[in-house]
Amino acid sequence: MKNRLLTCVLMLVAANGAVARDEPKDDGVKVGKASAFRNLVPAEGLEKQAALQFNQLKQEMSAKKALAPEDYPELQRLRMIAKRIIPYASRFNPRAEKWQWEVILIGSNEINAFCMPGGKIAFYTGILRQLKLTDDEVAMVMGHEIAHALREHAREQASKNVLTKIGAVGLSIATGGKYDGLVQTGANLLSLKYSRSDETDADLVGLDIAARAGYDPRAGVSLWKKMSAANKGAPPQFMSTHPSGPNRIKEIEAHLKEALPLYERAEKPKQWVAPVARAAPPR
């Protein structure tokens, strides 16, 4: 029975195939291979699930008047930065070229940001205002979050959940059933907690794509110093889903020699200038 179930797993992996691209074979920040576990769950199914949850979040925030309007300056700033970073995303995942990218800003004091499968990006005003992020630091956060989507860390987590139900998978295949439905695990894609190796992976991929977009990778160091300082009191939401440690900054610093040449030859963006505060902004 064990051998039959193992064969089913291998069949699922082969059927779905790889999506996230392994380390591009040229210059840039060196990263390892993307996890093979992710292939147990179809990418399309997870992206559809993410889009549904993202739309639900937008509706909830809009009802609370916490969703920044299209002309809101801080949202325009985020979209300006995203517009520069996104063209480099397909280096690490060819599916990114077809994603329906979205960027929203949520009025909340939470220090938080995320990017769901399929390119659904959200920032909270708390992370921008409380940490007083520069454009370079915003790009490091955004690059890191986009990297989670590109390297399909959520898909990897969902696949590991599937492995715990491997008996059901084997039974489904044996009886001619479909396994695609297993992606509908009820998992909340808005609050996934990634492994430490996933976090390092996202740091390095994010460093690469942000540097190519013209943002200073050294901002990764200043960002995490600010994040650590904010963590001295009650841990911000961002820290609960992005575990930090004494080696995180050292890891980034160790790869600056690979990222800085990308930044040095990139076209530099204009720095965003904060406009005069408008009435009743999202909190």
Please give the positions annotated as active site: 145
Distance of CA 58 to the CA centre of its chain: 18
Phi, psi (5° rounding) for residue 233? -90, -135
> Looking at the DSSP assignment, which residues form a beta bridge with residue 124?
106
Contacts for 45 with CB less than 8 Å, ≥ 6 apart:
180, 183, 184
CA distance 105 to 72: 9
Q: What is the DSSP string of 42-108?
A: -HHHHHHHHHHHHHHHHHHHHHTT-BPPTT-HHHHHHHHHHHHHGGGGGGT-GGGGG---EEEEE--
**What is the H or E stretch that residue 153 is in?**
helix 153-163
The Cα-based distances of 108 to 32, 61, 79, 128 in angstroms read 35, 10, 18, 10
C-alpha to C-alpha distance for 129 and 68, rounded to whole angstroms: 14
Beta strands in the chain, from DSSP E residues, in sequence order: 102-106, 113-116, 120-124
Closest by Cα among 179, 183, 200 to 242: 200
